[in-house]
Amino acid sequence: MTKAQNIFIVGTAYSGSTVLGNALNCHKDIAYAGEVNRLELFSQLYNTAEIGGCLYCNMHDKPCPLFSKENIRKIELAGVEGYFSKFREITGKEIIIDGSKFLNWMRTVYYSNAFAKNKTKAIISVKNPFSFVQSFVSREIGLVFEGANMWRDTYLDAFRTLNSAGIPYMVVRYENYAFKPQDSLEKVCAFLDVEFDKTMLDFEKKEVHAIGGNLHALTWQDNFRIPPITMEKKIFSKEKAEKFKSDHKKFGGWVDDEWKFTLKKEDIQTILSMPMLSETMNLLGYKIYDLLEEYQKENIGFGDIKL
C-alpha cells in the first residue's frame, strides 16, 4: 500500500517543474497539485501572485473537473495545515506534489503541520544558471546580474532550509530530464518509494489538471492554444509554440541550448562572477567546465571565459 506523502518541488521559476509535475501526475499513486500558493485565499494571506486555477482548463476556457470553485474553496478552507489531506480526498491519490517552488511557502506549510513532518520530502528542480538567466532576461524581469543572484540565493536557501529541517530531498536537473526523461522519472519514483509507471512518458497525450504553471509545458498537447490572458504572451506566440512543437515532436531527447546562442560572453562572465554561484553549481551536480566548453564551441572567437 502506498504511504501518504507530502512532496514539495522547490527552485526558481522556469526550472522545468511544470513539465516534471505533469509527467508525475500520470502515475496512479501521484497527484501534481501545481502552484498551490497561488490560489486566491493563499495568495492574499501569503503575498504571492494569484492565478485563476487549472492551467490546462484555462487554456481551453472551460470549467475544470478537478479544481472546481467548490473544490478550490475546500482546499483554501483546509488552510496550510490541511490542504495536503484535502487534495488526497479530492484526487484519491496518496502522494501529493505541491509545485509552488517558493521556500517561504514551504517553510510556512512545513512548520504549521507538526503531524505531517515525517511524510514530507522535497524535489529540487533546477536548470543551469545560464539557461535560467536567459529566461529571466528575455521576460524582461531584470538584468543579468539580478537573475544570477536570484538563482544562487534560491538554491543556497533550498539547501539551508532542507538540511536544517532534515527533510529528505533529491535534485532533478532539467537538462538531464529533457534529454532522458525516463532516467529522471525512474529516480524520482525510487525516491518516492513507488514503481516506475511508463504512462508518465506519454504525459502530453493526457489532460493534466494543476494550478498555475508554465504554459511552455503544454506545447505538446494536440489542442494547444494561447489562453486569452497570460503573462507569457510577450514572448510566447502561437507561431513560436508551433515551431517548437515541430522541432520537438515529443518531450525528451533534446537539449535546452537557447542560452548558448543568446547570451554574450560578458553575460557569462557576469554570471560566473557572482560570489558562491560556482560553488552552488557544483552542489547541484553541474560540471561548469563542460558547460563553458559547449558555449565556446558555439561562439568561436569570443575568447576564454575566466572562472
pTM attached to this predicted model: 0.91
Burial class, 198, CB count within 10 angstroms (exposed 0-12 / middle 13-18 / buried 19+)? exposed
Max Cα-Cα span within the chain: 60
Q: Give strand pairing partners of 169.
A: 122
Exposure of 26 in the CB half-sphere (CA atoms within 13 A): 18
What residues contact 146, with CB distance under 8 A and at least 6 apart? 136
Q: Are 257 and 175 in contact (CB under 8 A)?
A: no
pLDDT at 45: 61
- pLDDT score for 55: 82
Domain ranges for the chain, please list them.
5-129+150-256
- Alpha helices by DSSP H, 180-272: 181-191, 238-247, 258-262, 265-272
Write out the E strands in the chain: 5-11, 30-34, 95-101, 120-126, 169-173
The cell 547570451 sits on which residue? 263
CATH (residue range 5-129+150-256): 3.40.50
Coil, helix or strand at residue 32: strand
Distance CA 211, CA 237 (A): 22
List the pLDDT tens digit at each of the 307 positions of the chain: 678 999 999 999 999 999 999 999 999 999 999 999 888 777 766 555 555 578 888 878 888 888 888 998 899 899 998 999 999 999 999 999 999 999 999 999 999 876 677 899 999 999 999 999 999 999 899 999 999 999 999 999 999 999 999 999 999 999 999 999 999 999 999 999 999 999 999 888 888 889 888 877 777 666 676 665 454 545 555 666 666 666 655 678 888 889 999 999 999 999 999 999 999 999 999 999 999 998 988 876 555 665 5
CA atoms within 13 A on the CB side of 217: 25
For residues 225 and 242, give the distance between their C-alpha atoms in angstroms, rounded to a whole number.
10
> The C-alpha cell of 1 is what?
500500500
Q: Which three cell numbers stand for residue 302?
A: 569570443
Question: Do residues 122 and 10 make contact, with C-beta atoms less than 8 angstroms apart?
Answer: yes
Query: CA–CA separation, 19 vs 201, rounded Å?
Result: 11
